[in-house]
Each structure stands twice: as structure tokens, then as C-alpha cells.
Chain A
């Protein structure tokens, strides 16, 4: 996903500690997600979700599947 792009989460394909953490923070299917920007070294990435801003590493974001709209 590019900067300023938005979409709807279709699936979060990870379990365990990371999966739980991601879901706790509101990253669940059906939620709207927007890329806010990236850190100076392109990683981590900042996203807007449910009115708040979250940051996660690219490797962690890879588990999130999004339908861009």
C-alpha cells in the first residue's frame, strides 16, 4: 500500500502474541485503514485506524490483508 491510500481490512493472518496484539489495537476485518506515512528508513509504517494512529513494523503489517478502496 502507498502513502495516503485507504482500504478495508479483509483478513489478519497471524495468531499468537502478535495476532492478539494486532487485534487488541483494532486491526480486525471490516475496519477501514489508511496509511499515514513511513519512518525515515521506510519502516515502521504509521496507519490510521478507528480514529487513532498506530505504528507497526513492515514485517508485522504483512499479515494484514487489505482491499484497497
Chain B
């Protein structure tokens, strides 16, 4: 047996039942994270070796409350069980909340999978005065039931032995039949017969289970059925409609309600047979409830929440500064070395500006992302994140979002200086698809750290007297715009009922350190892997756009001649310094000309045909094109572009001074540009993340177009409005 193919053991259970903790305890670092095909649900697999040497692959199925097709997670879990047919399912349940947890177990029993029930957190249950008779439960449900404490690993050896025993029995699937009352049972019988005689999808599903799903109105099964055999599907649907109408008329209820009620009835009947005894009143306040009295208190709650979020923010952006700086130093060192080692030319330019700066842009975020995910993992694993959603939901609902969206917004720069990349990834904690997508697409409106230099430059140059107030106003503006945009999206492209909010507030728990580390690392690694590959390609592309086509021969020669002239006129050694400065000025001027001549420059010039509306000249346009690579680039590109055609031979006036003196610039133009920079296309790292997180490039592309159009409109309003009011003096 030990040499045969490894067993597959699936872990399944409610969210917060300790499934991931058990998975980590069993597999340790031997994990592999992937995705289920076509969806963004994580697929986690790990290796486990039994004491006697047998190997097993453990699959951590997504946490679900049910096996209907309510969410992607449920569909994924169900499809896995039906199609992959694991050798054993370990159904992990929270012993202190057994009745609700057994609802999912009942559905596994109805499916007939070989199953073991793990009664997790049996210690917590005991503290709460709940005693459970595992043997009796096992006898009544006819499956092994093993009490465990996943955090400490207690009972897991027995659990795995039981799993091995069950797997080796290799018994056929044995579905449980629960009685759903006369009407439903009769319908089930009729439908199951029809399914059997027609051989309707019977190769994948048991007839009665299939009939049950039809009665529950399961959309996924119905779609499959329609494709498999439209005639039988219609017949089954007719039976469903008939019994539904009957139930509505006689009892004012729905088939799925009857089914759920009877499932819980079955569970109650099992538990009532002296399986469970409560020493205390079931409503007794536990430690967790007492914490909640403070943390979700009407007055204290929001204040504490603000402090916690600020703390997370401080923690992330303060402590990641040093490692971020190390990365920067490393990449600087790398480019300096390459600069001296390689001969001048396109290869060198591509390696330095394209590859190293591109990769530096990606990897530079890594410490930031690690710290942020570590902080979020603490909030998530401890149960606090659910409370944040609980407190913020009323506000966010107005904009068609979910209480959990707040985290993503804050991280992205809700407090100026965040970053949309971890923000987009923080939206993962949202389970409702439409709200999640609306969050993903709007977090980039926040004032991230990379936009700040641009905003700082422009406010300092044109609004020096009220810079602080203006920066604060811009933060408020970002919030207003992001939330409004979310509302617009939810009313148009993402239109639809809000997903039911119903959510568990899990008891507060101390996160395990191992869990936090695994959580942090796996998300960080995914970022590196996903972003790294695509971004490298795009950054090379952008480099090429800003380099090619090069200057024509004649202009190149012109600059070479200028250099020679300067060098010739300053042969004396005493003039070394001004000579250096003059040469540097020529270099920047050449860089400027090259930029103007490049594809990006031509695009910038062509764009003037529309960019006069918000008042941008071609130089600004180039900077904005470059800013798509990374918003930090805007200031440097603007610097390069404005060095072009300088009359000042020394060319060392600061960009701020240059802009202040330039006749084209005035406060209205500056404000229009500020607004545009704040809201136009997210930087491409963010776009890549949006695409990956939403599971489609369509949404990445959408964010580029939607945001740019939106920003253009807003900037035009500012500029034209300002001009009409005669402010552009």
C-alpha cells in the first residue's frame, strides 16, 4: 500500500471552524497554493506522511456553510467532491457551535462521500460548559467522529489513523436519505425515477441528490441539466414548479425552506439523543462577547477601529521603510554596476531602465506587501476584521459596497501615502463578488504614496500658502470620488442586488504564529509570481516607447558637436566644474529631444489635440504616459521634458521654478493636472493586480479606460471652469 499512489484527503468545513489551522498543523510547510481553473478561489494542497509511511495529499477545500451553488466557494467545493472523488473527506466542525456546523455535514452525508467528522476546539466547548458524546454521535450518524484541538495538534494522530482506515475500506458512496415531509418526498421520488430511467447525468450524480438540487433551485445543476438533456430538464422543472406552487398555496413556503428546515430537524433529532449537554444557559456571555461589548460599542467602537486602522497603516508604512530602502539601494547598486560594466547602447539602456527599474518597481513593493499582509492576517485571524465590516457596513452600503471594503480603501491611500497594490489585494477578504469588484476598481483613486510627489510639487509651486489645507482637501476629494465612482459602477456595469450581508462574527482568537507566517508568505509569493512576469514585459515595452525611434543622425551629431565645442572652449583645468555642468546640461537637453522624438513623445504631441481641454501641453502628456509605468515617474519625466529647449544654458533651475515661470502654467492648470493625476489610469502594477484579482484582463483594461475618461472629464471641468471664472490669469 505504501508504494501506491498517495491517498487524497479533502478537508471541508465552515469558515472559522479551524480548517486552515488543521491544514497547517498536518502539512506544515509542505504546501502548494494554486487556483481552481477559471475562478479566483485558492486551491491549497499539502503533503502528509502517515507514521507507517503511507503518503497522502491533503486538499484544503474553501470554507463553506452549505453545498448549494450560493457562492463560488461552494461550487468549487462541491465540484471537487463530485468530480475528483477524494478517498476521504475530513469534515472539520466547531464543537462549540455544532448544530450549525452539522448542517454542512448533513449535506456531505446526503452526497454519500466517505467522511470523518473532526470535533474541533473541543477545549473551547468544554470551557463553555458543552459536553459532547462523540461515540454516540458517531453511532447515530454512522461515521467516525474524533474530538481534536487543531491548534495544539491534540487528537490529529487519531484523526488521521481513522482517515487511513476509512480510505483502505474503499467502501462505495452511501448517500443518506432524509425525509423532507410528504410533499417534497413525493416529488423527490417522482423526479428520481425519471432521472434513473432517462439516465440523466447519472454518471456524475446520484438521482435523488440531483432531484434535491432541482428542488433547491440550484442554478449550476440546472444549467448543466439543460445542456445535458433539455427535455428531461423541462420535465423536472415542471415537477418543481408544481410542488412549489402547492407549497406556497398551502403553507406559504418554498421547497428550499422545507428542505433546510428538515435538515436542521434531522440534526436536532440526532443531538437531542443525549449527544450534547449544556451546563450553562446557551445565551451566557463568553469572554468574546465581553470584548465585543467594548470593541463594537456605539461610541468606543469607531474610535478604537480608527486607532487600529491607523496603527496598521503606521506599522506597514513605517516598518517597511527600511527594507524598502534596502531594495532601492540594491537596485541602485545593480544599475550603477551595470552602467560601468556595460558599453553604452540600447542593451544597457534596456537592462537598466527597462529590466532593473521594472523589476525594482515590483520587488520594491514586496516588503510593503509583506508587512501589510502580516497586519491584515492578524486582524483577520483574530476575528477583528469581521467587526470592522460590521461597524462600517451602514456607511459603505450607501455606495453599493460592503463593510469589508474599508480595509482596501485605507491601505490604498485612504490616509494619504498608501499603495493601491496591497489595497487591491486586501479586497480579497471580501466575499461578495459585485461589491468586491466595485472595490477593486475604485481603490486606485486613493492618494497613494507615488502620487504624493506630484501633488507636493504642484501644490508647493502654485498654492504654497495653503499647501497643508489643500493636501487634506485632496484626501477628502479622493474618498468622495472613489465612493461616488463605486456607486456609479454599482448602478451601471456592476448593477445588481447587493449580496446578502449575513456574516458570522467569529469568537476572538489569538492567531497562531505559524498561521500568520504562512498566510503572509503565500500572499506575498503570489504577488511576486503573478506581478513579476507580466510587469517585466510591460516595463520593457514602456522603455521601448520612450526610447524609440531615436534621434535622427543630424541631431545626434549636433549634440556631439556642442559637447566638443564646450570641451574645446574650456581646456583650462580650473574650469572643470562649470564644464561638467555644461556637459550635464547638454545631456539633459539631448535626453529631452530624444524623449520628444520617441513614440511616447509623439503620442504626447498627438494628444495635444484633445489635451488642450484640460489644459495640458505635450510635455505634461509625455509625463502622464510615463506615469502609467509608475506615478513616481511623472515628476522625473516632467523634469526631462521641461529641460528641453531651455534658454538658460546652465539648465539647473529647479522644476518648480521652471513651472512657476512658464507662461503656460498657472494655478488652474496645476489644479487640473492634480485632479487628473489623482484619478487617471492606475499604474500598471495595479492594473496587473486588478486583472489577476478579478480573474480577467477585461477589468484591468476597464480600469484604464474608465479612470482615464473619468479623470479627463473632471480635469476638463476644473480647467474650463477655472478659465471661465477668469482664474487662469
Are B257 and A53 interface neighbours, CB within 8 A? no
Q: When A31-B264, A54-B504 are in contact, do A20 and B256 touch as well, CB less than 8 Å?
A: yes
Are B391 and A39 interface neighbours, CB within 8 A? yes
User: Looking at chain A, what size class is its interface with the partner chain?
Assistant: 35 or more
Residue among B94, B103, B257, B301 with the highest chain A CB neighbour number at 10 A: B257
A60 to B393: give the CA distance in the assembly, Å: 13
A26 to B390: give the CA distance in the assembly, Å: 19
Residues of B within 8 A of A49 (CB): 100
User: B209 at the A/B interface (Cβ < 8 Å)?
Assistant: no
Residues of A within 8 A of B254 (CB): 15, 19
Residues of A within 8 A of B130 (CB): 51
Are A15 and B257 interface neighbours, CB within 8 A? yes
A59 to B123: give the CA distance in the assembly, Å: 37
Residues of B within 8 A of A23 (CB): 256-257, 260-261, 264
Residues of B within 8 A of A48 (CB): 283
Residue among A15, A39, A46 with the highest chain B CB neighbour number at 10 A: A39
Q: Tell me the chain A residues, 18-69 only, with Cβ under 8 Å from chain B.
A: 18-26, 28-32, 34, 36-44, 46, 48-57, 60
A68 to B397: give the CA distance in the assembly, Å: 29
CB distance from B627 to the nearest CB of A (A): 38
Nearest residue (CB) in A for B298 is: A40
Are B505 and A60 interface neighbours, CB within 8 A? no
Contact of A39 among B256, B257, B394, B506 (CB under 8 A): B394
Q: When A19-B257, A39-B391 are in contact, do A51 and B97 touch as well, CB less than 8 Å?
A: yes
Nearest residue (CB) in B for A43 is: B394
Contact of A46 among B103, B283, B394, B505 (CB under 8 A): B505
A42 to B265: give the CA distance in the assembly, Å: 33
Q: When A31-B264, A39-B393 are in contact, do A50 and B97 touch as well, CB less than 8 Å?
A: yes
Are B502 and A29 interface neighbours, CB within 8 A? no
CB distance from A52 to the nearest CB of B (A): 4
Nearest residue (CB) in A for B497 is: A17
0/1 string, B382-395, CB within 8 A of A gives 1: 00001000110111
Are B393 and A44 interface neighbours, CB within 8 A? yes
Residues of B within 8 A of A20 (CB): 66, 68, 70, 216, 256, 260
Are B100 and A50 interface neighbours, CB within 8 A? yes
Contact of B296 among A12, A37, A57, A60 (CB under 8 A): A37
Residue among B264, B395, B506 with the highest chain A CB neighbour number at 10 A: B264
Nearest residue (CB) in A for B268 is: A30
Q: When A29-B261, A32-B282, A40-B391 are in contact, do A24 and B103 touch as well, CB less than 8 Å?
A: yes
A42 to B497: give the CA distance in the assembly, Å: 22
A37 to B294: give the CA distance in the assembly, Å: 11
CB distance from A51 to the nearest CB of B (A): 5
User: A8 at the A/B interface (Cβ < 8 Å)?
Assistant: no
Are A19 and B296 interface neighbours, CB within 8 A? no
Are B70 and A24 interface neighbours, CB within 8 A? yes
Are B100 and A26 interface neighbours, CB within 8 A? yes
Residues of B within 8 A of A30 (CB): 261, 264-265, 268
Q: When A19-B254, A43-B394 are in contact, do A25 and B292 touch as well, CB less than 8 Å?
A: no
Contact of B390 among A29, A44, A50 (CB under 8 A): A44
Residues of A within 8 A of B100 (CB): 25-26, 49-52
User: B729 at the A/B interface (Cβ < 8 Å)?
Assistant: no
Nearest residue (CB) in B for A33 is: B283
A23 to B499: give the CA distance in the assembly, Å: 15
A50 to B98: give the CA distance in the assembly, Å: 8
Are B501 and A44 interface neighbours, CB within 8 A? yes
Residues of B within 8 A of A46 (CB): 292, 296, 390, 505
Residues of A within 8 A of B98 (CB): 51
Are B66 and A41 interface neighbours, CB within 8 A? no
Are B261 and A34 interface neighbours, CB within 8 A? no
Are A44 and B296 interface neighbours, CB within 8 A? no
Contact of A37 among B292, B299, B506 (CB under 8 A): B292
Contact of A56 among B260, B283, B289, B501 (CB under 8 A): B501
Residues of B within 8 A of A29 (CB): 261
Residue among A6, A13, A28 with the highest chain B CB neighbour number at 10 A: A28
Q: When A23-B256, A37-B292 are in contact, do A53 and B505 touch as well, CB less than 8 Å?
A: yes
Are A39 and B261 interface neighbours, CB within 8 A? no
User: B65 at the A/B interface (Cβ < 8 Å)?
Assistant: yes
Contact of B501 among A26, A31, A60 (CB under 8 A): A60
User: B500 at the A/B interface (Cβ < 8 Å)?
Assistant: yes
Are A52 and B504 interface neighbours, CB within 8 A? yes
Residues of A within 8 A of B504 (CB): 25, 52-55
CB distance from A18 to the nearest CB of B (A): 5
A6 to B283: give the CA distance in the assembly, Å: 9
A26 to B268: give the CA distance in the assembly, Å: 12
A21 to B257: give the CA distance in the assembly, Å: 11
Q: Tell me the chain B residues, 474-510 only, with Cβ under 8 Å from chain A.
A: 497, 499-507
User: B96 at the A/B interface (Cβ < 8 Å)?
Assistant: yes
Residues of A within 8 A of B502 (CB): 18, 21-22, 25, 54-56, 60
Residues of A within 8 A of B264 (CB): 23, 26, 28, 30-31
0/1 string, B659-687, CB within 8 A of A gives 1: 00000000000000000000000000000
User: B522 at the A/B interface (Cβ < 8 Å)?
Assistant: no
CB distance from A10 to the nearest CB of B (A): 12
Residues of A within 8 A of B256 (CB): 15, 19-20, 23
A52 to B497: give the CA distance in the assembly, Å: 27
Residues of A within 8 A of B391 (CB): 39-40
User: B364 at the A/B interface (Cβ < 8 Å)?
Assistant: no
Residues of A within 8 A of B395 (CB): 41
A23 to B302: give the CA distance in the assembly, Å: 30
0/1 string, B71-91, CB within 8 A of A gives 1: 000000000000000000000
Residues of A within 8 A of B587 (CB): none
A44 to B301: give the CA distance in the assembly, Å: 14
CB distance from A57 to the nearest CB of B (A): 5
Residues of B within 8 A of A31 (CB): 264
CB distance from B388 to the nearest CB of A (A): 10
Contact of B397 among A28, A36, A57 (CB under 8 A): A57
Binding site for B on A (CB under 8 A): 6, 12-13, 15-26, 28-32, 34, 36-44, 46, 48-57, 60
Given contacts A21-B500, A50-B100, could you give 11 more A-B pairs where the C-beta distance is less than 8 Å? A15-B256, A15-B257, A19-B256, A19-B257, A20-B66, A37-B292, A39-B393, A40-B301, A44-B393, A52-B97, A55-B505
Binding site for A on B (CB under 8 A): 65-66, 68, 70, 94, 96-100, 103, 128, 130, 216-217, 252, 254, 256-257, 260-261, 264-265, 268, 282-283, 288-289, 292-293, 296, 298-299, 301-302, 386, 390-391, 393-395, 397, 403, 497, 499-507
13 A-B pairs within 8 Å (CB atoms) are namely A15-B254, A20-B68, A21-B502, A22-B500, A24-B68, A26-B100, A29-B261, A34-B283, A36-B292, A39-B301, A44-B501, A51-B96, A51-B128
Task: Give 10 closest A-B pairs by Cβ, nearest first.
Answer: A23-B260, A41-B394, A24-B66, A26-B100, A53-B505, A15-B254, A24-B65, A52-B97, A50-B99, A18-B500
